[in-house]
Amino acid sequence: MTAPDPVAPTPPNPVPPNPVPPGPVPPSLVEASLKGLCPRCGSPTLFSGWTAFSDRCRVCGLDIAGFNVGDGPAAFLILILGAIVVGLAIWLQLTLAPPFWVQALIWIPVTLGGTMWSLRITKAALLVSEYRNAAREGRITP
Ligand SMILES: [Zn+2]
């Protein structure tokens, strides 16, 4: 038995390395936001309640609690949805002049439902964006 020649060139690798590991295809931002999908594996595991995030994805183990979407979506939605609802209520009052109880019967459920629905979507969109852009707390490095 002879030892390998240390000077001899090594044969080229016949199989090129695959830079993208095989795995689940991440969902689009819109799809993940509307359906509450995990940004990594696409499973519907982003939320544990209507607007409460899960701590961790049950399928791929992504640490969802590690993301911080803060109160940005809620404040943004209050301003937008409040302006829309008040504008529509004023328009309804000036156009049809319904009694107060009709206004309350219409706009309280619309406001609550619209807030919960849009809060879920915007929170998911912000979390998915943080995941995709690897967003972290700002740091100043010397
Ligand atoms: Zn996942």
pLDDT in tens, 108-141: 999 999 999 999 999 999 999 999 988 877 777 7
Question: Rounded to an integer, what distance in angstroms lies between the CA atom of residue 46 and that of residue 107?
Answer: 29
What value, to the nearest 5°, has the Cα angle with vertex 50 and ends 129 and 138?
A: 30
CA of 53 to the centre of ligand 1 (A): 13
CA of 135 to the centre of ligand 1 (A): 18
As to burial, measured by CB atoms within 10 angstroms (0-12 exposed, 13-18 middle, 19+ buried), residue 71 is: exposed
The fraction of the chain above a pLDDT of 90, given in percent, is 62
CA of 39 to the centre of ligand 1 (A): 7
CA of 132 to the centre of ligand 1 (A): 13
CA of 24 to the centre of ligand 1 (A): 9
Does an H or E element contain 42, and which?
A: none
pTM score, whole prediction: 0.72
CA of 38 to the centre of ligand 1 (A): 5
pLDDT grade for 21, boundaries at 50, 70 and 90: low
Amino acid at 27: P
Question: Rounded to an integer, what distance in angstroms lies between the CA atom of residue 28 and that of residue 135?
Answer: 17
Query: What phi and psi values does residue 115 have, to the nearest 5 degrees?
Result: -65, -50
CA of 44 to the centre of ligand 1 (A): 8
